[in-house]
Amino acid sequence: MSSPRTLAPTLALLLAGWVTAPWAGAVPAAAPTPGTAAGSAGGETAPAACAASRPGVAEMEFQGTLNKDPDAVDTRIRLANALSDRGCYADAVRLLEAGLERDPDSRLLKERLRSARSTQSEQGYFEGLGHAEEAAKAQRNLLRCRDLADLASCDQALAATPNDRDLLVAKGDALVRAGRPAEALTDYDKAAGILPADETLKGKTAAAESARQTFVNRCLGEKGDAALAACDQGLRHGARDEFAIYQRKGVLLQAVDQSARALDAYIAAAMLEPGDRAVAQAIVALTDSSARQDPVALTARNTALQTLGRGQQSIATPTVAARAIETPKATALKAGGPKAAAAKVAVAAAATLVSYSNREPAGESH
């Protein structure tokens, strides 16, 4: 429109002083220095880059020269440029400020300091943009966790901020909505641990516990798959009914001929109440009838035998130990590399279990 190439129409406007002539003289811009905002790299270097990097030879030379002659403006500016190159914008600003204190009239230092301060603030701007992205992700996850009971979003959000009380409560709510009140109670407890429970959280906890009790009652009082599912939904580690639920689960699994899983349930129950004879009898019966020969099962069997006062039958412990250890040991010998290492760990674990099974149960005398 008012390009020099369309001079004639522009002249009339110029006469009125409405537009300015582009050829009247461009305002020169300062040549960019490394890391300045005018440069494309401006602000892209995070402060971490400064912390992670080390001064180069040139930078150390500049520093040495400046130490000898603190009034050398040129060296000071070069050192500031080197610091900017490494992303050490704050250091560059401090260096230039110190220089300006020595020489308050230095135009070069003033210009470079302005540029350095600008770069420093721009760095904050880029960091802000990065934080914006993370904050948006967190808000999205919170929204989906809270409003849609999306447990994957809850977990993603908690992975970033594990001690966020609101998130823990939101996940608890999502678990209640998903029919998993026992797990919800764990998150409510964590939330209460961060900040003492208010009335709302107390109400949620009571409601979740009530929902859990419904599952527990169904687990203990009903039969079949529905009862089994209820046992899982009502099971809460550390709860007073944990033993009863494991034991009931064992019974229910035995009833549907799932011996291996039943044995697991009984073993879990036995770990909670080692002296329970009914559980011990079930473990012995199931290890006899099933093909479970793994160290955990065999160790549990020995413990159960001792509980039943049939410790003499657990004299076979050395055999058990040999069996428990030899299998992974053989694997370790045959395997190479990571497999061998894993097998060695298994050998150590088996040995520990065997030594545990050899201990005399409390109160039993020979």
Partner 1 sequence: MTARVAALWIAGLLCVGCTTRPPTIAHVHIGHAITGVHVTPHEEGYFVVAEKHAKTVYDFSTEASNAADLATMKQDIAEAVKDNDSEPDFGVKHAIVMAANHINFAATSDDASTNVQQSAPIFAAHVTRVVERCDLISLLGNDVANSQSMDEARVSIQQIQKLALANISGEGSAAGGHDSSVPSEYGLVQLRHELDAMIARENPPYRTVDQWYLFNLVRLPNGRWVFDKLGRGGNIEGYK
Q: What residues make contact with partner 1 under the rule CB under 8 A?
A: 1-5, 14-17, 19-32, 36-40, 42, 111, 114-115, 117-119, 121-122, 124-125, 128-129, 131-133, 135-137, 139-140, 143-144, 147-148
Six-digit token string for 22? 């582009």
9 or 336, CB closer to partner 1?
9
Rounded CA-CA distance 8/58 in Å is 55
Q: Are 182 and 215 in contact (CB under 8 A)?
A: yes
What minimum distance in Å lies between the beta carbon of 28 and partner 1?
A: 6
Tell me the CA end-to-end span of the chain in Å, nearest whole number: 109
129 or 291, CB closer to partner 1?
129
What minimum distance in Å lies between the beta carbon of 145 and partner 1?
A: 11
Six-digit token string for 281? 């009898």
Neighbours of 81 (CB within 10 A): 20
What minimum distance in Å lies between the beta carbon of 269 and partner 1?
A: 40
171 or 212, CB closer to partner 1?
171
Rounded CA-CA distance 221/243 in Å is 15
89 or 266, CB closer to partner 1?
89
102 or 114, CB closer to partner 1?
114
What count of Cα atoms within 13 Å lies in the side-chain half-sphere of residue 236? Answer: 23
What minimum distance in Å lies between the beta carbon of 8 and partner 1?
A: 14
Rounded CA-CA distance 270/249 in Å is 13
What minimum distance in Å lies between the beta carbon of 98 and partner 1?
A: 20
What minimum distance in Å lies between the beta carbon of 29 and partner 1?
A: 4
Task: Name the H helices within the chain.
Answer: 7-15, 47-52, 57-68, 73-85, 89-102, 107-148, 151-160, 165-177, 181-194, 199-221, 224-234, 242-255, 259-272, 277-289, 295-307, 317-334, 337-358
What minimum distance in Å lies between the beta carbon of 11 and partner 1?
A: 8
Rounded CA-CA distance 192/165 in Å is 8
131 or 223, CB closer to partner 1?
131
Six-digit token string for 185? 């109670």
30 or 271, CB closer to partner 1?
30
